[in-house]
Amino acid sequence: MPDGAIGLVHLLILGAALFVIGLVGFLVRRNLIVMFLSTEIMFQGVIVTAVGFGRFHANLTGQAFAVFLLVIAAVEAALGLGLVVLMFRQAGTLDAEAYRTLTED
């Protein structure tokens, strides 16, 4: 096949890079909302990977999987952000490190 054509490896690298960027953002940022946004970036990486594999195997399973990922992302955003708003109303901060007092130690 000719050089420069787009193959599976291109989609896999793009998906993995997006996932890792989201992972780093989740671990490094302290704002709860930005941490949730980082998980959404990770979802985007997984969607690219699923679509790439589905294209590689020439069926629609990967795309169907990505549709269910959308469902999970919507559920996660609705519930997670509801909890973030509740925590903000109760504690007055979005700093993830401020909630370390909630651990049992």
Q: Name which of residues 23 to 82 contact another protein (CB under 8 A).
A: 23-25, 27-31, 33-34, 36-38, 40-41, 44, 47-48, 51-52, 54-61, 63-64, 66-68, 70-75, 77-79, 81-82
Q: Is the Cβ–Cβ distance between 15 and 22 less than 8 Å?
A: no
Which of residues 2 and 104 has its CB atom nearest to another protein in the complex?
2
Which of residues 97 and 104 has its CB atom nearest to another protein in the complex?
97
Closest residue by Cα to residue 19 from 42, 44, 52, 47: 42
3-class SS of residue 30: coil
CB of 87 to another protein, least distance (A): 8
Closest residue by Cα to residue 41 from 22, 28, 14, 26: 22
CB of 85 to another protein, least distance (A): 6
Q: How many residues belong to the site for another protein (CB under 8 A)?
A: 82
- Cα-based angle 97, 32, 82 (whole degrees, multiple of 5): 125
How far is residue 101's CA from residue 104's CA, in Å, rounded to a whole number?
A: 8
CB of 104 to another protein, least distance (A): 14
- When asked if residue 5 is in the footprint of another protein (CB under 8 A), the reply is yes
